[in-house]
Each structure stands twice: as structure tokens, then as C-alpha cells.
Amino acid sequence: MQTVELNNGVEIPILGFGTFQITDAKEAEEAVVKAIQVGYRHIDTAQSYQNEEAVGKGIAKSGVPREELFITTKIWVENVSYDGVKTSFQESLDRLGLAYVDLLLIHQPYNDVYGAWRAMEELQAAGKIRAIGVSNFAVDRAVDLAEFNKVTPQVNQIEINPFQQQIANIAALKEEGIMPEAWAPFAEGKNDIFQNEVLTEIGKKYHKSVAQVIVRWLVEQEIIVLAKSVNPERMAENIDVFDFSLTDEDKAQIAKLNVGESQFFSHSDPQMIKWMASRRIDS
């Protein structure tokens, strides 16, 4: 598996297995086992997914040594404070059955992100976390966090897909040494992405699926990619992307698909912020 180096020297597999919306405990556990069996070594979960315990069971059941795996979890909004991180992170470790995680992210840019970041810096220094970062932060918020704290975020996990390509933001993050990581690379199937004519035609040239074309497009930009499927065949397909390369013409065609806006919601929408503030992960 190809890796990329974060700004603190930690190596992260460029392809990860996402577990968002796999809420059934048995299904989540088995999905993690299958993902590891087909070759994934990077597993992504979060407090708000409410499947950390199942993910941890899957990791243990896989039989793969812990040091060969890269595990990410995220702090939910209600826990984004100094004390909230210290308490909830230990709870996450307990649910996962792990002594440490490889990457911890602030899931959303709300609540006391600066207090939370100081706690994360301390946990990283103590060896409980190998890398720390953020998710869904605008570039200016990520830079602000870096400038007024000891540690620059190692990762910013954001929506990146053919319809929301984030070209300027990706360049700005990389300029700051912050590695972009793509959630929803397939836009969760929106706008008939798997039947998209441009992506389908590119795939035909290489005998690849639309999903494989999208993953390859991101990998060639050195963007970490999270792909999710509970189907073992699709899991294997999604990481089988290292035997072809896209041409400049292919990339130019994909660039034309960009509409430049989220396929889901705006993180600056006051109503969305209020909804996230009210959502409790134990509810």
C-alpha cells in the first residue's frame, strides 16, 4: 500500500476504509475484518459514528498486528474542549480496545477547538496519538489553529470528489504542510456519479470502474482517500488502483465536472451548526 508522509514524519496509507453509516454492530465488525483481509491497513471511525466498539472488535478479530494498522477516530462537537477531549478520548480508546490511535481529528470546527487542540497536543506528546488533525475546517481556521499553538495540524479531512474538487483549498493546505484527506470521494452516489458519462468513458479505457477512476484521480494528487463499502468485492476493487495512470486529457475532463460546492451542506449554515451542537452521540 502506498503511503504519504505527514508533517511530523508519520507515514499514513493513502487509501483508507471508512466506516461512516455502518451502524449495525455486527455489520461494522465484519466489514472491518473483510477490509483488512482484502488489504486495507488504514481504518477510519469517529465518536459520532457510534461504531468504535465494533470497529475495535473487527481490528482484534483480523489477526493483523496492531503496528501494521493505522487507526483514526474523531472527537465529536459536544466533546470539543480541553476536558472533553481528555475524557472522551480515553472512552474512545476503551471502546476501540487500543492503547493508542494513529490519528485523532476534531470532527467539526465548532465549540472550544483551541482548548481541544491543547489537550490533543498533550496526548500526542504522551504517546497516546501519533498524529493530530482536524476535519471540515476551512483553510483559514486550520492556519489560525497552527499559528497560535505548538503543533500544526497534520491532516484536514474534507469533502473532495469530482463535483467538489476544492482545488484552491487543497493547494493552500499543502502549502501549510497540512495533508488533505478526502471524505465522500464518491459523493455518496449523488448526481448519478457511478453512471457519469465522463468517468465511465475514462474507466472503459483502463478496464476500471468509476470508483477506481475517482480513487486514482485522488491518489495521483497525493490526497488521502477514504472509501466505504460493506461488499468485499467492492472493497477489493476500490484499492486496486495502482496498475494504471490517468492522462492529462483524462484529468482535464474530470476537472470539467467540478461545480465548486458541497454535495451535502454548508459548514457555515447557522442551522447546521445548531443541529450539530444539539446532537448527542449517546442519543
Nearest one of 191, 183, 247 to 217, comparing CA atoms = 247
SS3 content of the chain, % helix, strand, coil (to 5): 45, 15, 35
CB 5 within 8 A of CB 214: no
Distance CA 66, CA 31 (A): 17
pLDDT of residue 283: 44
CB under 8 Å to 87, separation ≥6 — which residues? Answer: 79
Strands 101-106 and 70-75: parallel
Distance CA 89, CA 96 (A): 10
Specify burial of residue 221 (Cβ count, 10 A radius: 0-12, 13-18, 19+): middle
Specify burial of residue 231 (Cβ count, 10 A radius: 0-12, 13-18, 19+): exposed
Active centre residues (catalytic): 49
Specify burial of residue 114 (Cβ count, 10 A radius: 0-12, 13-18, 19+): middle
Per residue of the chain (283 residues), give pLDDT as tens: 899 999 999 999 999 999 999 989 999 999 999 999 999 999 999 999 999 999 999 999 999 999 999 999 999 999 999 999 999 999 999 999 999 999 999 999 999 999 999 999 999 999 999 999 999 999 999 999 999 999 999 999 999 999 999 999 999 999 999 999 999 999 989 889 999 999 999 999 999 999 999 999 999 999 999 999 899 999 999 999 999 999 999 999 999 999 988 888 889 899 989 999 998 886 4
Domains and CATH numbers, the chain: 3-278 (3.20.20.100)
pLDDT of residue 282: 65
Q: What is the CA radius of gyration of the chain?
A: 18
Q: Which three cell numbers stand for residue 268?
A: 457555515
Query: Helix, strand, or coil here: 70?
Result: strand
DSSP state string for 166-202? -HHHHHHHHHTTPEEEEE-TTGGGGGGGGG-HHHHHH
Angle, CA of 29, 102 and 276, to the nearest 5°: 70
Query: Helix, strand, or coil here: 116?
Result: helix
Distance CA 68, CA 82 (A): 30
pLDDT of residue 281: 84
Q: What is the pTM of this model?
A: 0.95
Q: How many DSSP H helices and E strands does the chain contain?
A: 11, 10
Query: Does 207 carry a binding-site annotation?
Result: no
Alpha-carbon distance values, 184 to 20, 68, 82 (Å):
10, 25, 29
Nearest one of 180, 249, 248, 251 to 214, comparing CA atoms = 251
Sign of CA dihedral 139, 179, 169, 257: negative
